[in-house]
Amino acid sequence: MAKFVHLHTHSHYSLLDGLSKVGPLVKRAKELGMEALALTDHGNLYGSVEFYKKAKAAGIKPIIGVETYVARHSRLSKDPKVDSVRYHLTLLVKNKEGYRNLVQLITKSHLEGFYYKPRIDKELLEKYREGLICLSGCFSGEVGKLLRAGNKAGAEEAVKYYHNLFGKIQHPFSRHPRFSLFKS
């Protein structure tokens, strides 16, 4: 039987979205026999050090990540009619270079891209992609939003873009019958 690992988990550091504190989250993962756990708070790494230390102490492999906000156009644009809409994209660290790149992305999202939320863009993703694993995000991800809008061609283009940038990507509704784009 395959082991289950949560790769998209929010803590109380995901303001207005996460509720779990890091300690109880790690404790519950341990109780469920999980060997690894990812922490992917919205737009920040505030809980990553605490999570890393508590997961290691519990014998769980900590996977550091972030659910980023991706600007539809440029992180530098701030047109209220266009740029307040953004996509979610989950990024996981696979090595030290990935951690450094994720820190760069999150720092730049706050210093350069902040508009309602800390945003990155595809320019930054292309520059800081090494050492990162890309998940397509939740229903608010680019692929999910395009599929829900009935734009299968746009979703296919988005999948190709991320695949070319990161290699294989994982999509949360890949087995959902409504989204035939991802059927095996």
Q: Is residue 41 part of a domain?
A: no
Residue 113 lies inside a defined structural domain of this protein = yes
Other beta carbons within 10 Å of 123: 13
Cα-flanking dihedrals φ and ψ of residue 13, to 5°? -80, -10
Residue 152 forms part of a structural domain: yes
pLDDT in tens, 80-108: 888 888 999 999 999 999 999 999 999 99
Is 140 domain-assigned?
yes
Q: Is the pLDDT of residue 182 over 50?
A: no
| pLDDT value of position 15 | 80
Q: Cα(22)–Cα(12) distance, rounded to whole angstroms?
A: 8
Q: What range does the domain containing 97 cover?
A: 68-182
- Residue 155: exposure state from Cβ atoms within 10 A (0-12, 13-18, ≥19): buried
pLDDT tens digits for range 108-132: 999 999 999 999 999 999 999 999 9
Task: Please spell the DSSP secondary structure of 103-145, one letter per residue.
Answer: HHHHHHHHHTS-BSB-EE-HHHHHHS-TTEEEE--STTBHHHH
CATH number at residue 150: 3.20.20.140
Q: Is residue 141 part of a domain?
A: yes
Domain count, the chain: 1
pLDDT, tens digit, 9 for 90 and up, residues 25-40: 999 999 999 999 999 9
Taking residues 164-180, what's their average pLDDT?
57
* Any domain includes 174: yes
pLDDT number for residue 179: 37
Q: 52 in a domain, yes or no?
A: no
The residue assigned the tokens 């087995």 is 175
139 in a structural domain: yes
Q: CB 63: neighbour CB atoms within 10 A?
A: 21
